Chain A
Amino acid sequence: MKQTQYDVLVIGAGPAGSVMARDVARLGHTVLLIEKRARIGYPVRCGEASTTLDQLENTYGPIAPECIETVLNGLFVYGPGGINLDVTRPNVGVMLNREKFDPWLAHLAEADGAEVVVNARAESVSEVENGFRTVSIVMPTGTEKIKAKMIVAADGIESRIGRLLGIKCLHRPGTTCTGVDIQVEGILTKPDYLTFWQGHDFINDGYIWSFPKVKSNVTNFGAGFLVSSKQDSDIQTVALEWLKKLYPEAKVKSVVGGLVPVSGNLKDCVRERFLMIGDAAHHTNPLTGGGIASAMRGGQIGAAIIHEGFMAGDLSEKFLRRFETTCMKRFGNEHKKIMKFRRFLLGQNRPSQIALYKLIKAYLEGGQRIKVFLKKPCTTVSFILKFLRFR
């Protein structure tokens, strides 16, 4: 560390942390970004699919072409009872290469003036004293104490820092997914489509995916289910079984895994001079488990609010609460609705689930117009009523 005191200390150099560090540095504050791993972006803990390039670039600016593996033009879902959904939509998303994307983001933060240190693990965060919080940082060379006016925890699924400060950010079974991503040589499914298997007997509480990374000629084949005590075997075994069943010839290159919060935005994620972003604040889409875009958006919103706070000389808990409300407005409310849909879909019995899939299929085949629903008025109305009554 070059200094012992910074305006902002960001813990964790994933997409959320790096974007936060870059934006805060650009606004003229001194920033230290620490990462506990030796190499940023490695090991990857992600299926690597993200929203449209336009959406990423509108919020963030141009994304380096080497980070983008594939531009996606649709989704294909192998649903229950043989009802398959084919959604053709040009530019519906991109496949990223997180091993390149994460270091690239951190590098941009560095270029804009943030100091980036790897192999540095935040062990504890103190209470506020004279306008500073002190973080003890463990490095191979020893422990250092760094003072900062504002601490940002972007420590992902671990969310240890928030919990040490008494925030209820625990990932609970039922609202957390466990997932594994098997990198397979070659492209298994349609090269510009995301392919999913959902609603089959024992993959009801989640889905199996096959995402093509065209540039590297690799497919991310994975599975993610809600964490529950009912499972008889771990998800890696289940995913490998499915891979063998669907693509017996597939050659496995490597396996990565991780947990995904699918609970909707954490309502309480700030304290005086402390704020949480990204997976640590549960900023993920509760249906798909995707969190890259919302993590980056959260980082940007946080940076703007911290800047406002510095200008106003107010970094109290009360002031920082506007971070929570802004995140809620920008993507949290949408995530809430999506979560209700997920719970609704998983809560249906099999015949009802198949009927719902049939309805969606008719909608997609009828040119994705609301009018199509009028052809099946009874089913439509019954599902709308069921959904409205669903709590």
Chain B
Amino acid sequence: MKILVHNRERCLECAGCVGICPFLALDMYGLDLQIDHDKCTRCGLCICACPAGALRIEKGKAP
């Protein structure tokens, strides 16, 4: 299964991904990006919007 993965080292903490996610799947507290994997459709919009390239879709399992 593919899931959205957040790279904290690259992240600039701007929370832009939260604002652009059409499914309200993201929320951010400090450097903690909360990803609701049930709501996330892996549309990739947040990846295009992220100024730092801190988001990726990778193979993995939702926690």
B62, CB-defined interface residue at 8 Å: no
A158 contact from B28, B30, B45, B48, Cβ within 8 A: B28
A233 vs B51: C-alpha distance when bound (angstroms): 9
Q: Main SS of chain B's interface residues?
A: loop
The number of residues on chain B lying at the interface, defined by a beta carbon within 8 Å of a beta carbon of chain A, is: 22
* Min distance, Cβ B43 to any Cβ of chain A, angstroms: 10
Inter-subunit contact B51/A178 (CB<8 Å): yes
* Min distance, Cβ A261 to any Cβ of chain B, angstroms: 8
Task: Map CB proximity to A onto B46-63 as digits: 1 under 8 Å, 0 otherwise.
Answer: 001111110000000000
The number of residues on chain A lying at the interface, defined by a beta carbon within 8 Å of a beta carbon of chain B, is: 35
What chain A residues lie within 8 Å of B27 (beta carbons)? 160
Inter-subunit contact B19/A180 (CB<8 Å): no
Interface residues of B in 14-56 (CB under 8 A from A): 14-16, 18-20, 22, 24, 27-30, 44-45, 48-53
* Min distance, Cβ B2 to any Cβ of chain A, angstroms: 17
A3 vs B29: C-alpha distance when bound (angstroms): 25
What chain A residues lie within 8 Å of B51 (beta carbons)? 178-180, 234-236, 257-259
Stretch with Cβ within 8 A of B (4 or more), from A24-32, A168-176, A295-303, A305-313? A168-176
A234 contact from B13, B15, B20, B50, Cβ within 8 A: B50
A18, CB-defined interface residue at 8 Å: no
Stretch with Cβ within 8 A of B (4 or more), from A53-61, A98-106, A223-231, A374-382? A223-231
What chain A residues lie within 8 Å of B49 (beta carbons)? 173, 176, 178, 227, 259
Interface residues of A in 44-71 (CB under 8 A from B): 45
Inter-subunit contact A259/B14 (CB<8 Å): yes
B52 contact from A45, A231, A236, Cβ within 8 A: A236
Q: A-side interface residues toward B, CB under 8 Å?
A: 36-38, 43, 45, 121, 156-160, 163-164, 170-173, 176, 178-180, 227-229, 231, 233-237, 255-259
Q: B-side interface residues toward A, CB under 8 Å?
A: 12-16, 18-20, 22, 24, 27-30, 44-45, 48-53
